[in-house]
Chain A
Amino acid sequence: MKTCQELRNAIGPFVEGDLAPADAEIVAEHIEECADCQAIERDYRALAELLSPAPHAPSRDEDPAWRRFDAELAERLHHEDTRRHGLRIPVPLAAAAAILLLFTGGLSLRSIRKNSQLVEDNARLAEALIQIQSQRNVLGLDSTRRIIPVQRVNNVLRPMAASESTDGEPQAGDTARDPFQPKGLKLSDAETLATVSFTPQPVTTPATARRAKKKPVEIRLINYEGVTEPGLY
């Protein structure tokens, strides 16, 4: 025979119909005989009533707040991708660079500066893309696209090839290559898929925020052959 105290934990599940029939019978019998437990049962029923969740409005995914949620998430996921693809400066390298900077005054750090420029440009590019996509109710359900690393030439962001070593004018017939090209995918062509002008908005990292200028920049997107599945690139 279980004691009153032992059975008390079961009154909640009993009220909510979560007990097996045999157990429910035991609890019901006890409640019949015990005034304290009757009071508890009564209150728990009232409590369950009070706590019953509100009926939900039908899902309204077009709500601006949820669009903002999706767009912001897409942006964060993109930053995550950028980070994963190794565009950040690795910690040991950064430490070495800092030490080097002490001795050289930063004169020999062209490549590192270029790297951080790349991160910055990608961040701006991602942001522009999110702006474009958010107009189409994103989580990017229309994309055969992928953002590729770029560099700024005359204030135009231009796809950067893996082997590119100097900052020069874009050459005629210059083919865009993507150093982070996914395995097994071929660029369908080097032409730009879209050219969009935008005015950079305030961005999250202090470095980019400082450097964001209010000039329109061209954004170029690259198409992959045979990639038709949507995704968050």
Chain B
Amino acid sequence: MGDIVRLEEKQRSTPGAPGVESPDNEIAALGRRDPKRGLALLVAKYRRPLFRHAYHMLRNAEEAYETVQEVFLRAYREKRLFNDGFHIKGWLYRVTANLCLKQIRSRRVRSVFASRKQAEPPPPNDLLPVTQAIEGETREEIMAAIDKLPPRFRSLIVLRYYDGFSYKEIADTLSMPIGSVMSGLSRARDKLRKMLADKLQLEDFSS
């Protein structure tokens, strides 16, 4: 009983303390006073969505895991992280997106030396969404189609559809003009449209 009372008092005593759900500017304000606590909150808030992004880009859970670790390590080194007006979310996604693209490039270089394709380990279930909107086979086909896109286009599709970014946010994240985002997405959609022609007809028929 006594413990419960103390806990309630403690919660009351810090009514405005930022938590995982707080907007980035509140976390930043805390981060300026206590960088480690600020970073801990950012980790708790963003590790999941960043992992999801990295996983959709890389389609390899281990690589995605390492990528997100590296992102937070870089965040720790980033001096401006908690500065007023610093766009934390955009920065985190930009670093993640760039590291993924770099990783894909380095795979190509490696594949010149070792061309055998390694069997992809199944993703750890607890890191990925539990419920999937689309069932097995279709989802696999969509994933395979996205995998076939050139990495830049894949970035655009993942940011737009899986991370739910606006055109403006994508432009900021990938440091591209918004016009290029639009035309890039348009070309990416066209490629997917061709690859998934059967599925799209089916989808259309059912609706």
Is residue A90 within 8 Å, beta carbon to beta carbon, of the partner chain? no
Q: How far is the CB of A62 from chain B (nearest CB, A)?
A: 10
Is B193's beta carbon under 8 Å from chain A? yes
Q: Is the CB of B196 within 8 A of A139?
A: no
A57 and B161 within 8 A (CB) = no
Given contacts A43-B200, A52-B161, A66-B47, are A73 and B69 in contact (CB under 8 A)?
Answer: yes
CA distance A28 to B167 in the complex (A): 20
CA distance in complex: A44, B199 (Å) = 12
CB distance from B118 to the nearest CB of A (A): 21
Contacts of A73 in B (CB 8 A): 43, 69, 72-73
B43 contacts A44, CB within 8 Å? no
Asked whether A46 and B204 contact (CB < 8 A) given A65-B127, A70-B43, A80-B73, the answer is yes
Contacts A8-B186, A59-B48; is A141 near B161 (CB within 8 Å)? no
Expressed in whole angstroms, the Cα–Cα distance for A100 and B162 within the complex equals 57
The answer to whether B161 and A53 have CB atoms under 8 Å apart is: yes
Chain A residue with the shortest CB-CB distance to B73: A76
Size category, B interface: 35 or more
Chain A residues near B65: list those with CB within 8 A.
69
B192 within 8 A of A: yes
Contacts of B182 in A (CB 8 A): 9-10, 12-13
In the complex, A209 has a CB within 8 A of chain B: no
Q: Is the CB of A50 within 8 A of B203?
A: yes
A11 vs B193: C-alpha distance when bound (angstroms): 13
Q: Are B126 and A69 in contact (CB under 8 A)?
A: no
Interface residues of A in 153-198 (CB under 8 A from B): none
8 A Cβ contacts from B122-155 to A: 124, 126-127, 129-134, 138, 142
Cβ of B76 < 8 Å from any Cβ of A?
A: yes
A197 to chain B, nearest CB (A): 27
| A49–B126 CA distance with the chains assembled, in angstroms | 25
**Interface of B, helix, strand, loop or mixed by DSSP:** helix
Chain B residues whose C-beta falls within 8 Å of the C-beta of A70 in the assembled complex: 43
Question: Which residues of B have CB within 8 Å of A233?
Answer: 36
The answer to whether the Cβ of A18 comes within 8 Å of any Cβ in the partner chain is: yes
Selected from B20, B43, B76, the residue in CB contact (under 8 A) with A80 is B76
CA A229 – CA B17 in complex, angstroms? 12
Residues of chain A lying within 8 A (CB to CB) of residue B43: 70, 73, 139
Contact A47 B129 (CB under 8 A): no
How many angstroms between the C-alpha atoms of A13 and B184 in the bound complex?
A: 12
The reply to whether the CB of A63 lies closer than 8 angstroms to some CB of chain B is yes
Q: Which of A12, A50, A139, A140 contacts B185 (CB 8 A)?
A: A12
B39 within 8 A of A: yes
Beta-carbon contact of B124 and A56 below 8 Å: no
Would you call A61 and B73 a contact (CB within 8 A)?
Answer: no
A60 at the interface (CB under 8 A from B): yes
Q: Which among A53, A55, A56, A64 has the greatest number of chain B C-beta atoms within 10 A?
A: A53
Does chain A have a CB within 8 A of B164? yes
Are the CB atoms of A9 and B183 closer together than 8 Å? yes
Chain B interface residues (CB < 8 Å from chain A): 20, 34, 36-37, 39-40, 43-44, 47-48, 65, 68-69, 72-73, 76-77, 124, 126-127, 129-134, 138, 142, 157, 161-162, 164, 166-167, 182-183, 185-186, 189, 192-193, 196, 199-200, 203-204, 207
**What are 25 sample pairs from A and B whose C-beta atoms fall under 8 A apart?**
A12-B185, A12-B189, A13-B182, A18-B166, A40-B193, A43-B193, A43-B200, A45-B204, A46-B207, A47-B192, A48-B161, A49-B203, A51-B142, A52-B133, A52-B161, A54-B131, A54-B134, A57-B131, A69-B69, A70-B43, A73-B73, A77-B73, A139-B43, A139-B44, A140-B40
- Taking Cβ atoms with an 8 Å cutoff, the residues of A that contact B are 8-13, 18, 40, 42-57, 59-61, 63-66, 69-70, 72-73, 76-77, 80, 139-141, 229-233
Given A43-B200, A50-B196, list of 19 further CB < 8 A pairs?
A47-B193, A50-B199, A53-B161, A53-B162, A53-B164, A54-B131, A55-B131, A57-B129, A57-B131, A65-B124, A69-B69, A70-B43, A72-B69, A77-B73, A80-B73, A80-B77, A139-B43, A139-B44, A232-B36
